[in-house]
Amino acid sequence: MSPLQFPGQGAPYEILDAAEVERIQELRRRYPQGKSAILPALWILQRKEGILTAEGMRELARALELSPGQVEAVASFYSMYFFKPHGRYVVEMCTNLSCLLMGSSKVFDSFQEQLQCQPGTTTTDGLATLQEVECLGACGGAPVAQINHRFFENLTPDKVTQLVSDMRAGKLDLRALPTGREVAAQQELVDLANPGANRVPLPAGGAAGSVVDLVKGAQKLIPGRDHPAERGYTEAPVEHRT
């Protein structure tokens, strides 16, 4: 087993408990390739921690027998996973075509006004995080929003006013989401503007030895100006035949 692929294999789990590790490994056994289980495994981690941290994804990768970089690459592609703390309520407003035609712009504006926060931010009191998302798959009830994974359909600005009022009063019967604030204070966060918290350093000769060196350090293999990049162009000359 290569340490380049599975760093930390055999180390004790500190974030995931035994039942969660077993659940993740059971998910992995369902698929011919372990990476197919990354998405549901990430949900297990996020439902526990509230957010995905570098350490959490490293443990998840070990349970799946994958490299941490593979897990982070998948997680960072989707907007449904969180990498920084969020509010107690996560409001996801669809502004795709069906909802847009049915008036989602006014509904979204009402959420911003009532919550007093901009899309992609969290209210100052930590009550809610507001997000603009693509199609939620509930076009028949447009305009629709999802709050803590529950759909609210046929929304109007007046209904938004009532929803926000119920949030503040704690009257919405929704599954509570861990906000990730405690975890963020203790673990390494992933910076999506500069991803690669789980990037594994390459050996000195490159992951593939001289093949990588041919691209990244060609001067070691091809002397002087014999390398095309040193001659001012990167494509081999075309030989014309008559």
Backbone angles phi, psi at 89, to 5 degrees: -115, 135
Percent of the chain with pLDDT over 70: 75
- 107-148 pLDDT per residue, tens: 999 999 999 999 999 999 999 999 999 899 999 999 999 999
- How far is the C-alpha of 102 from the C-alpha of 124, rounded, in Å? 30
Phi-psi region of 92 (alpha: psi -120 to 50; beta: other; left: phi over 0): beta
Q: What is the pLDDT of residue 175?
A: 85
What's the pLDDT at 235?
45
Are residues 89 and 172 in contact, defined by beta-carbon separation less than 8 angstroms? yes
Tokens linked to 91:
């409001």
Query: Are the beta carbons of 93 and 160 closer than 8 angstroms?
Result: no
pLDDT tier at 239 (50, 70, 90 boundaries)?
low
What are the tokens at 37?
Answer: 């289980």
Looking at the DSSP bridge assignments, the partners of residue 92 are 131, 146
CA-to-CA dists, residue 141 to 102, 104, 144, 164, 175, angstroms: 9, 11, 6, 20, 22
Enumerate residues 6+ apart whose C-beta is below 8 A from 191. Answer: 83, 197
What does the alpha-carbon distance between residue 236 and residue 218 come to, in Å, rounded to a whole number? 16
Q: CATH top-level class for 89-169?
A: alpha beta
CA–CA gap between residue 44 and residue 23 (Å, rounded): 9
Enumerate the domain spans of the chain. Answer: 1-84+180-201, 89-169, 203-242
Q: 85-117 pLDDT, tens per residue?
A: 999 999 999 999 999 999 999 999 999 999 999
Class of residue 146 by CB neighbours under 10 A (exposed 0-12, middle 13-18, buried 19+): buried
Which architecture, in CATH terms, is 1-84+180-201? Orthogonal Bundle (1.10)
| Distance in angstroms (rounded) separating the CA atoms of residues 2 and 48 | 30
For residue 190, how many other CB atoms are within 10 A of its CB?
A: 22
Q: Which of 118, 90, 108 lies closest to 176, judged by CA? A: 90
- DSSP lists the bridge partners of residue 130 as 91, 121
pLDDT of 198 reads 53
Residue type, 12: P
Q: What are phi and psi of 213, to 5 degrees?
A: -60, -30
Backbone φ and ψ for 130, nearest 5 degrees, come out as -105, 130
Averaged pLDDT of the chain = 82
